[in-house]
């Protein structure tokens, strides 16, 4: 049986054996429950995006990234840039489970003096590479890091998690132009394609499609995957690693509010938590139902 207890992680083939997938899916279930508890305790924060990205952040921290929680500044670590910083609750929970800080600290989210603010701050929390806030800026930070790695002939890779809504920002496309021009194959952009943003659906606010053709026109390799399938996402990362001529964009089709019926696909849950009564109780119950369904699929 695989062991997801974190220690120094070296790069290895990403192929998922069934036992590993089962462990990752169980970990994602625990992470989703802790996410709800943390948001309820904070009384503020984003729900839909973090729930939709729980499987991806689980896969990143426990299978994909080369990193060492005991040495967060290890020079050969992979760099994970969170461009859409408002979904940081899911990153915080994944980091706590990986061993970057005690899980008990999750209950300090957004509190005065906490290291876990509503947007991550690089100098406060070990393992956070950049301070994020302005949407679109993460893509520029990611390409700068990836370019530096190639110049230094360093082995580490850069992953940039982004929202689809932030593709409205022109800075994103400038960064993608630079990435394509400089063949930054060591840079992988992960687009949370959940089709919502704070005021409605992306296609109502500022239509984005056809995204695949747009990215390809910028000299990017494009892979599409089901973002709520750990196996599908890991396969997409494998395909990205197999391309050495250009950077890759993974369009991860996710369900906002994944696992909680009253949240799924509802943009009003973009930026608010469930209340500590019926909403949170229903959320935990439905997440446990989802976890049970996942377990049964492996039997």
The ranges assigned to domains in the chain are 18-297
Residue 176 CA to residue 161 CA, distance in Å, equals 14
Both structure tokens of 116: 């876990």
- Work out the number of other CB atoms within 10 angstroms of the CB of residue 45: 23
Domain 18-297, architecture per CATH: 3-Layer(aba) Sandwich (3.40)
- Work out the number of other CB atoms within 10 angstroms of the CB of residue 283: 28
Q: What is the pLDDT of residues 160-180, one digit of tens each?
A: 999 999 999 999 999 999 999
* Contact by Cβ (8 Å): 198, 270: yes
CA 1 to chain centroid: 26
Q: What is the pLDDT of residues 39-87, one digit of tens each?
A: 999 999 999 999 999 999 999 999 999 999 999 999 999 999 999 999 9
Both structure tokens of 136: 């679109």
| pLDDT given at position 2 | 41
Residue 264 CA to residue 257 CA, distance in Å, equals 4
* Contact by Cβ (8 Å): 214, 181: no
- Where helices occur in 87-207 by DSSP H, the ranges are 88-98, 137-152, 170-181, 202-205
Residue 210 CA to residue 193 CA, distance in Å, equals 12
* Contact by Cβ (8 Å): 62, 140: no
| pLDDT given at position 203 | 96
| pLDDT given at position 3 | 46
Q: What is the pLDDT of residues 118-129, one digit of tens each?
A: 999 999 999 999
Length of the chain equals 299
């Amino acid at each position: 049986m695989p062991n997801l207890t974190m220690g120094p992680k070296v790069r290895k083939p990403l192929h998922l054996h069934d036992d590993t997938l089962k462990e990752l899916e169980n970990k994602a279930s625990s992470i989703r429950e802790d996410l709800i508890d943390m948001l309820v305790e904070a009384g503020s924060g984003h729900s839909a995006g973090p729930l939709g990205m729980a499987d991806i952040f689980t896969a990143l921290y426990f299978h994909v990234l080369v990193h060492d929680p005991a040495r967060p500044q290890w020079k050969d670590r992979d760099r994970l840039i969170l461009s859409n910083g408002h979904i940081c609750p899911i990153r915080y929970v994944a980091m706590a489970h990986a061993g970057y800080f005690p899980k008990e600290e999750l209950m300090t989210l957004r509190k005065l003096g906490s290291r876990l603010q509503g947007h991550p701050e690089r100098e406060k929390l070990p393992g956070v590479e950049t301070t994020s806030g302005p949407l679109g800026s993460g893509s520029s930070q990611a390409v700068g890091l990836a370019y530096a790695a190639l110049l230094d002939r360093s082995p580490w890779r850069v992953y940039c998690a982004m929202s689809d809504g932030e593709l409205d920002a022109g800075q994103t496309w400038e960064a993608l132009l630079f990435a394509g021009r400089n063949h930054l194959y060591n840079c992988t952009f992960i687009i949370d394609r959940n089709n919502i943003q704070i005021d409605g659906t992306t296609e109502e606010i500022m239509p984005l499609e056809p995204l695949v053709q747009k990215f390809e026109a910028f000299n990017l390799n494009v892979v599409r995957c089901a973002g709520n399938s750990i196996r599908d996402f890991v396969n997409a990362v494998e395909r990205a690693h197999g391309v050495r001529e250009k950077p890759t964009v993974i369009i991860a089709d996710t369900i906002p509010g994944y696992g909680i019926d009253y949240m799924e696909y509802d943009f009003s849950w973009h930026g608010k938590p469930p209340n500590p009564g019926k909403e949170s109780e229903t959320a935990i119950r439905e997440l446990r139902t989802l976890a049970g369904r996942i377990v049964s699929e492996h039997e």
